[in-house]
Structure 1
Amino acid sequence: MIMLTIILNILLPPLSVYLKHGLGETFLISLILTLIGWLPGVIHAFIVNR
């Protein structure tokens, strides 16, 4: 499970945040950061899914 989370954090950050926290503020922040740039979305996903 941990390995899947790490892979999703890298490839699809909003999806990994959604799977752990559902639709909400955290997901929207992750989505916006990923749309601005892939790397901010990845960093946010790793911090939130810690």
Structure 2
Amino acid sequence: MRAGLVDELHLAIVPLLVGRGERLLDHVAEGIEGYRVAEMVSSPAATHALLVRR
């Protein structure tokens, strides 16, 4: 993402706690600024977010 090689990213986020967990976008903070949320669909079971490069 930092290098600008990802055009679209579909994230499926499920509220499930397993162990300590891991922060997905912790090390790409400056790379995420070049993306916008194009679509977000939520339900009680999951949230789907589509990030696209600006």
When normalised by structure 1's length, the TM-score is: 0.24
Question: Which is richer in strand?
Answer: 2
| Larger RCO (alpha carbons 8 Å, 6+ apart) | 2
When normalised by structure 2's length, the TM-score is: 0.24
Question: Which is richer in helix?
Answer: 1
